Amino acid sequence: MKGRVLVVDDDTALAEMLGIVLRGEGFEPSFVADGDKALAAFREAKPDLVLLDLMLPGRDGIEVCRLIRAESGVPIVMLTAKSDTVDVVVGLESGADDYIIKPFKPKELVARIRARLRRSEEPAPEQLTIGDLVIDVAGHSVKREGQSIALTPLEFDLLVALARKPWQVFTREVLLEQVWGYRHAADTRLVNVHVQRLRSKVEKDPERPEIVVTVRGVGYKAGPS
């Protein structure tokens, strides 16, 4: 079972506490406290998920996030003490899939981790089309005219959620629930940022999206096939 979690945090007490909680839930945590060493530790540990503190000595969390994202689509959950929009959005834009604001409840953290891991676990043989894109759900690939487009698992999930019901307009809250696994409405900025990131990858012209269309005042829907 996938359960390796890399904890990147400079606060030893918190890291230890996180270790206790994660072990209690059956994960295998490994730790790194320095931003400069984070990438090496990531390569070595090959985790299934990264818990990343935003404020780190050496390289800061944003930078680490970018580096990890550059070479892997592994889910990244940011731990942040800053709930200001700018901080959160910058974190998400640097490639994090989700974020959790300190102080958090252990159960909440575990739920988020499980949600991210489950997403990357369950492949169902299915072929979807959205616009001129062909999505192979089981093979986890998206192709436009034979050219495959690299998406992170989260972006892939987002695209699949939209493509499965092209007739439906998804509110941000619904997407949060389906893609991120939030049961209560949380911050819809998550959705906005990831839709932007997804568009920058799959749209021909991100300024005039055709795949993920905004329905003003409601949410998003898949573009016409």
Binding-site ranges for another protein (CB under 8 A): 11, 13-14, 17-18, 20-21, 24, 55, 79, 81-85, 87, 102-107, 171, 173, 184-185, 187-189, 216-217
Q: How far is the CB of 55 from another protein (least distance, A)?
A: 6
Instruction: Select 22 or 133, whichever has its Cβ closest to another protein.
Output: 22
Q: How far is the CB of 129 from another protein (least distance, A)?
A: 30
The CA radius of gyration of the chain, in Å to the nearest whole number, is 17
Name the phi and psi angles at 55, rounded to 5: -100, 110
Q: How far is the CB of 81 from another protein (least distance, A)?
A: 4
Q: How many helices (H) and strands (E) does the chain have?
A: 8, 12
Residue whose entry in the numeric block shows the structure tokens 């629930």:
177
Q: How far is the CB of 29 from another protein (least distance, A)?
A: 13
Instruction: Select 17 or 150, whichever has its Cβ closest to another protein.
Output: 17
Q: How far apart are CA 14 and CA 144, in angstroms?
A: 45
- Pull the structure tokens for residue 85: 């929009």
Instruction: Select 22 or 142, whichever has its Cβ closest to another protein.
Output: 22
Instruction: Select 51 or 151, whichever has its Cβ closest to another protein.
Output: 51
Residue whose entry in the numeric block shows the structure tokens 């949060």:
176
Instruction: Select 208 or 216, whichever has its Cβ closest to another protein.
Output: 216
Q: How far is the CB of 214 from another protein (least distance, A)?
A: 10
Look at residue 34 and give its three-state secondary structure. coil
Work out the end-to-end distance of the chain between its first and last CA atoms, rounded to an integer number of angstroms. 37
Tell which residue, 90, 88, 63, 92, has the closest CA to residue 76: 92
Within a 10 A sphere around the Cβ of 106, how many other Cβ atoms? 14
